[in-house]
Structure 1
Amino acid sequence: AKELNVDAIIEGSALLLNDKVRITAQLVDAFDKHRWAESYDRDLKDVFTIHHEVAIDIAREVQKNITSQDKTLSLNQYPKNSEVYQLYLKGRYFFNLYTYESQKKAIQYFEQVIKLDPDYALGYAGLADVYGIWSALELPRTVAIAKSREYVMKALELDESLVEAHTTLGYIKMDYDWDWQGAEKELRRAIELNPNYVFAYHILSHYLLLIGQNDESLEVSKRALELAPLDMEINAHLGFHYYWSREYDKAIEQYIKTLETAPRDPWVHSYLGRAYKEMGWYSKSIEESKQALSLIGKNEAEILSNLGNVYAVSGNREKALEIINELIGQSKQRYVPSFLIADVYVGLGEKDKAFEWLEKAFNERDLEPMSPLLDPIRKDPRFKDIMHRMNLPLKDM
């Protein structure tokens, strides 16, 4: 508890025998004092009832006021049977692996969930997450976002209080609709519904960076880290915040810290490479990008683009152009964001080519306008026009 900076932790175990289950749970404070313990013997089919009972008992122990509405909302999270819930958890597991292959598996599990229980809102929310946040699957972005929107609205139709659905809708409004007020409304609503839902803070921090509210974004990022201090993505996002805020030394420090617990995560290596590049440490940047590609096991477009950009700015024009050709080739097989190709052209100093691809990115509604990679063209009138059309603030970086 002390290490996690919390007052107490919950420990538990489960013993399964045929169709019976025994759940043992205990509440231990930061001084290793056992504040509460209980065992629950139930039929396996009643596992969700046990979950609910344990949550209510622990909340009472820490003197939280439990209302009848809280109890109802809690029960609404559970499907009709344990098989559906197991499928949902598997879907979430693969979603959280953050690879293209894992997202395909996540879709398969979530589709099984809604087939077995068409009224289970979280199943639709899971599909909305995959198609929305991982819209760079083989589907064109417009098709993927349309699917995500369809599923998230179905989830909210079934359960308006579903925090996951409000968060994903906020993401769609931010990342695709460029409806900044609508995005903030949904994300704030998600946090109002569940002040401990880490992913809502994660997306809200992105939103605040986009609209230039960097100080509040940092506060939100740190709040997410307080809630999930061991979560790799949340740790990496704090580094991302520093990177977009041009505090590259802090970004590097945070990424290295994240790699201590996730040394084989390709995305953190790639992000670290981007920060090294901005410091002018090109050889270290190239090394991190190559390691990221090796760990991910294929020529992933975003990581290739990062490598192409550092080749470009370090003077290796030939290799930068090779990567541009590779990305264009990939785009003929699956969706590759046009801004990734623009990033390499920016590094090469070919502004006209860069804006040609940025205009394509605008039409795809898939841009990273606050990225440090675009700083060399930020004062160009054509860039200011893009920012104006996105209704984003013009800000010197």
Structure 2
Amino acid sequence: MAYGRAMDTALQSLQTAALTGRQREILSLVAKGFTNVDIGELLGIARGTVKNHVATIIERLEVSNRTEASTLFLQAELQSKNGGQTSRRHGPRIAVLPFRSAGTETCRRYVAQGLGEAIIQVLTNAHRLQVLAPESPRRLQEMGLRRAAIGRQLQATHIVQGLITFSGEQLRIRISVYDCADDSELLVSEYPCTLQQVFTTQAAIAAAIAARLKAAPAEDSACPSTAHTEAAHAFWRGRFFWNKRTPEDIVSSLELFQQSINASADFTLAYVGIADACHQLGMYTGMPTADIFQKARDAAQAAVQLDQQSAQAQTSLAYSHMVFDWDFERAEQGFRRALDLDENYSWGYAWHSYLCMLQCRFDEALALVLRAQDLDPLSAPLYIHVGHVYRSRGLYDQAIAELERCIEMEPLNIRALGWLAATHAEVGQFSIAEKYIQRAIELSRRHPHLLAVLGYIYGRMGESGRQQALLDELQRRTESEFISPLFPAMCLVAGSDHAAAMGYIERALQQRAPMLLHWLCDPMFRHLSDQPGYRQVAEALGLPVIAGQSGL
């Protein structure tokens, strides 16, 4: 029996308690990427015992290997979180599966991916339909689920599939729409075109889908122009690299977004692409931030000037107001405006949630990010953000649960590993914390942020010598690369030299380091709340002062 066809049966085995409590515990650790040796050390049992348990798990779940077992575990977790209930919604809820194309050439892959996302945008913006973000359907399809199972998992009412066949410069696009209630085929349409014309077809395809679902006709002002053919090709190639989310690929996407603007200076989405790429580089890669965030804000402002009705543009500009200008009032207005324009834009909810978290509006933050998760239920970054909200509120068990779900989906997700390590440290689970952070450091080639987290963990453990060795490494590296002052501050915050930690934080304030916003409200840095300079820094940022931690 094929893996995709066997998945429902194996999932039922998992949900009907075919495994013992110990086996479930081991499967949870396998899904997080731990080796048999790691699991044995964490549970205090022999490696051979772990190996036997894993073999039994694979046999009882009727799968072939630990990877397939991990996938089923994730599916059970997601079903448990959803409660098996269908949400109360009005109107269609559509999942667009990744479009398929013959061949593996990059050109064909970016055309297939780009056309699918372009159709999603037209369905959402022009026809006001609720369409799930593309990451969740893609992830479920990669896991081997059949169409009907994907529909159930995402609580979708309809599924759209696309197949693109190439013959030289000629293409044929086949679109199918299915009713998730009985998996019946509601629509089959074909669209012949040339490669150059492919990104002029999305309006016609979206109109056919909307008409079949009896949705509102498109608003003319929301339909994409057919005058941006060359710009669209460059933009969707950029999105192809952007979706990989590595620093190198984000830099490549920036170059392609600029090519898109060079081809059509009024192509709004290309400016949004530049803004979002610069935001990512500024926040997560350690680049000096002033220039990169100025470029992001300029691009976001240009996007809004071109199209004030674009929720993506409004969200990007609001994000710049939040992390670069520290103008939270304008950021709030921007996020609200974006969600008024598109109530189904998941990242509008996510970034508005981030602002609420910074301002200690935790109930609002959680409600907003859970709405984002409803629209993109398998997004790894959203699981990380839910974990941040719980962590910032001091609800560490809930934070760990969300971050572990992310690791179950993406065992090599460096950000999730780092924050999971820090959160285990907050509850005194230092051996688990050290395993997670060592794995993240190895994967990241000793990224300074993760070295700082390890320094914090060593400080909590009372390992002052090892903590100092990491601080020395960070200081040596400042001679050859940019190291944010926040990293040595994190190393020091769990030790006794809080005055030195505050000195680094004040330097980060002078540099307008964007991550200072997040870190100042994080439990790690609340250990400094009794320091004279802490209140001044919080007031300079416009953030509330939060009571410190005890028990160091």
What SS class does the counterpart of residue 336 from structure 1 fall into?
coil
How far apart are residue 160 of structure 1 and its match?
A: 2.5
Aligned twin of 1:16: 166
Which of residues 395, 407, 422 in structure 2 aligns to 1:274? 422
How far apart are residue 43 of structure 1 and its match?
A: 3.2
Aligned twin of 1:202: 350
Are 2:199 and 2:233, in contact at CA under 8 Å, matched by a contact in 1?
Answer: no
Higher mean displacement: 101-110 or 306-315: 101-110
- 2:263, 2:475 → 1: CA distance? 41
Aligned twin of 1:26: 176
Q: What pairs up with 1:299-338 in 2 under 5 angstroms?
A: 299-338=446-485
- 2:298, 2:355 → 1: CA distance? 22
How far apart are residue 265 of structure 1 and its match?
A: 1.5
Does residue 384 in structure 1 map to residue 527 in structure 2?
A: no
- Residues 132-162 of structure 1 deviation map (CA, whole Å, 9 limit, x = unaligned): 2321557521111111122222222332333
Which of residues 149, 154, 157 in structure 2 aligns to 1:7? 157
Which of residues 346, 355, 369 in structure 1 aligns to 2:493? 346
- 1:235, 1:37 → 2: CA distance? 36
Does residue 144 in structure 1 map to residue 295 in structure 2?
A: no
Superposed CA RMSD: 2.1
* Unaligned residue ranges in structure 1 (runs of 5+): none
Are 2:286 and 2:484, in contact at CA under 8 Å, matched by a contact in 1?
Answer: no
Aligned twin of 2:282: 135
Instruction: Indicate how the Cα distance of structure 1 residues 139 and 263 shifts in structure 2: closer, same or farther if over 3 A, else same.
Output: closer
How far apart are residue 67 of structure 1 and its match?
A: 4.5
Q: Which amino acid aligns with 1:12?
A: G
- Residues 86-119 of structure 1 deviation map (CA, whole Å, 9 limit, x = unaligned): 4323322333433332322222222222233333
Aligned twin of 1:373: 524
Aligned twin of 2:203: 52
What SS class does the counterpart of residue 156 from structure 2 fall into?
coil
Aligned twin of 1:362: 509
- 2:168, 2:240 → 1: CA distance? 25
Instruction: Indicate how the Cα distance of structure 1 residues 330 and 203 shifts in structure 2: closer, same or farther if over 3 A, else same.
Output: farther
Are 1:141 and 1:335, in contact at CA under 8 Å, matched by a contact in 2?
Answer: no
How far apart are residue 370 of structure 1 and its match?
A: 0.8
Which of residues 143, 151, 158 in structure 1 aligns to 2:306? 158
Aligned twin of 1:247: 395
How far apart are residue 192 of structure 1 and its match?
A: 1.9
Does residue 37 in structure 1 map to residue 37 in structure 2?
A: no
- 1:277, 1:51 → 2: CA distance? 49
How far apart are residue 301 of structure 1 and its match?
A: 1.9
Which of residues 308, 319, 323 in structure 2 aligns to 1:175? 323
Which of residues 370, 383, 389 in structure 2 aligns to 1:222? 370
Instruction: Indicate how the Cα distance of structure 1 residues 320 and 49 shifts in structure 2: closer, same or farther if over 3 A, else same.
Output: same
- 1:228, 1:352 → 2: CA distance? 43
Q: Which amino acid aligns with 2:412?
A: R
What SS class does the counterpart of residue 189 from structure 2 fall into?
strand
- 1:46, 1:18 → 2: CA distance? 13
The TM-score with structure 2 as length reference comes to 0.67
What SS class does the counterpart of residue 348 from structure 1 fall into?
coil
Q: Percent identity?
A: 25
Does residue 106 in structure 1 map to residue 253 in structure 2?
A: yes
Aligned twin of 1:261: 409
The TM-score with structure 1 as length reference comes to 0.92
- 2:332, 2:473 → 1: CA distance? 37
Are 1:111 and 1:123, in contact at CA under 8 Å, matched by a contact in 2?
Answer: yes
Q: Which amino acid aligns with 1:104?
A: V
- 2:218, 2:344 → 1: CA distance? 17
Instruction: Indicate how the Cα distance of structure 1 residues 202 and 331 shifts in structure 2: closer, same or farther if over 3 A, else same.
Output: farther
Are 2:390 and 2:398, in contact at CA under 8 Å, matched by a contact in 1?
Answer: yes
- 2:251, 2:286 → 1: CA distance? 10
- Residues 159-205 of structure 1 deviation map (CA, whole Å, 9 limit, x = unaligned): 23332222121111111211111011111122222222222222111
Larger relative contact order (CA 8 Å, sep ≥ 6): 2
